[in-house]
Structure 1
């Protein structure tokens, strides 16, 4: 699962990293507590031309009559994405990359308190989540929406949560974006065990109103 994440790359750096043309209406780039329904910057490819464009995090299937007509689909399970009616068309034709610097997961104490953890690449490089997207329109409302693809956790991550987002290295971006033919399904696997590191962070991030770099600073476990 991935229910919150952070991005600390400026827009121009994201555009250069993904060799993508940035839209003029992208959300603020540096944010430490991105929550479901927030706008996010997403990389898509159209005939090999990459674009960095804004989307609403929370996939809306075309049959929803309103944005709240069903569950908010922030994640798509790799194991069933090709079969689920909500995602199967997007999985074939509307795949994307969602840039991040890190993401959060939670464990619980015996007393039920939620303890947040920040997960990031060991080498400090940005993360590219595998995603799918969908344009939605009804009753004079229109959104372009996305979901993050998740898979089973690798061994280190399983200490925190049984799921993790699919993250793709640069050499796999063309295949996921549909620029390098077919076979993207093989990419929906856990990252190698050595990819990520994680540390406890302040419970302040439990609030979706919290902001600022202190949210990702380590605290004593």
Structure 2
């Protein structure tokens, strides 16, 4: 699964990476411990170009009667997307990517759970596949929310957790974002485990377990620069 992640680059780096020329993100700041129910940066395609904005993490389906239970929909299993009422109608037209440069997961050992940060070997930005929806409240206020799609673990993640976020490469990212792409079977085939040879994992401080902690030192390797 994916319950915490990092996006620590500058706003300018995000804009350059996703070819953004008209961002709608007023208060971007790097996140060292992004958590569910927070507003996070996300990229969608409006039919002409990529757009960067903020989505609340935890999907609230447009048909929901009230704003609750979104915290339970932070992840969507790729294998059952087309079977779940909350997700199946979104695959055709409400796809997004969540920019990240790492994510956290907890490895269970005999002495307890140990947090690790997982990232690409080159340390670069990557795109986690997601879905979004827009909910309108009784007062007319709109809330835009998202979920991160997960898939089976690759060989690196297998010793940590049996699930991992779907990470798209540049080619599959473009296909996923393309709003004109309605080929559902082809889109579903994009949701595969990422190449473990291009990833690495290292231990970090247990401080990442507290959602109130959000500072650069959380990225440090535990034991060398523990916080």
Counterpart in 2 of 1:157?
157
CA distance in 2, matches of 1:99, 1:83: 26
2:134 alignment counterpart:
135
Residue 64 in structure 1 maps to residue 64 in structure 2:
yes
Matches within 5 A, 1:1-221: 1-69=1-69, 72-111=72-111, 113-140=112-139, 141-178=141-178, 181=181, 182=183, 183-220=186-223
3-state DSSP of counterpart to 1:81: helix
Provide, for residues 94-152 of structure 1, a one-character-per-residue CA deviation record: whole Å limited to 9, x for no partner: 111110010000123435x3311100101111110011100011233421001111000
Cα root mean square deviation, aligned: 1.8
| Cα pair 1:60 1:72 within 8 Å, conserved | no
Q: Which moved more, 1:100-109 or 1:34-43?
A: 100-109
Q: Secondary structure at the match of 1:80?
A: helix
Structure 2 unaligned spans of 5+: none
| Aligned counterparts of 1:51 and 1:30: Cα–Cα separation in 2 | 18
Name the SS for the 1:47 alignment partner.
coil
Number of aligned positions between the proteins: 220
What per-residue deviation string (whole Å, max 9, x for no partner) do you get for residues 2-49 of structure 1? 000010111121111111234343443311010001101111001131
Residue-by-residue CA offset, 1:43-64 (whole Å, 9 max, x unaligned): 1001131100111011011232
Distance 1:27 1:162 in 2: 35
TM-score (norm 1): 0.93
Residues in 1 aligned to 2:56 and 2:160: alpha-carbon distance in whole angstroms:
27
Q: After superposition, what is the alpha-carbon deviation per residue over 1:42-98, rounded to whole angstroms, capped at 9, x for unaligned? A: 110011311001110110112322221566200111001122110011111111111
CA distance in 1, matches of 2:187, 2:6: 25
Single out whichever of 13-22 and 85-94 deviates more from structure 2: 13-22
* Structure 2 length-normalised TM: 0.91
Contact 1:27 1:54 in 2 (8 A): no
Q: Please say if residues 23 and 54 of structure 1, whose CA atoms lie closer than 8 Å, have aligned partners that are also in contact.
A: no
What stretches of structure 1 of length at least 5 have no aligned partner? none
- Give per-residue Cα distances to partners, 1:144-203, cap 9 Å, x unaligned: 001111000001111000000000111222210125733221110000121210011000
Equivalent residues of 1:39, 1:56 under 8 A apart: yes
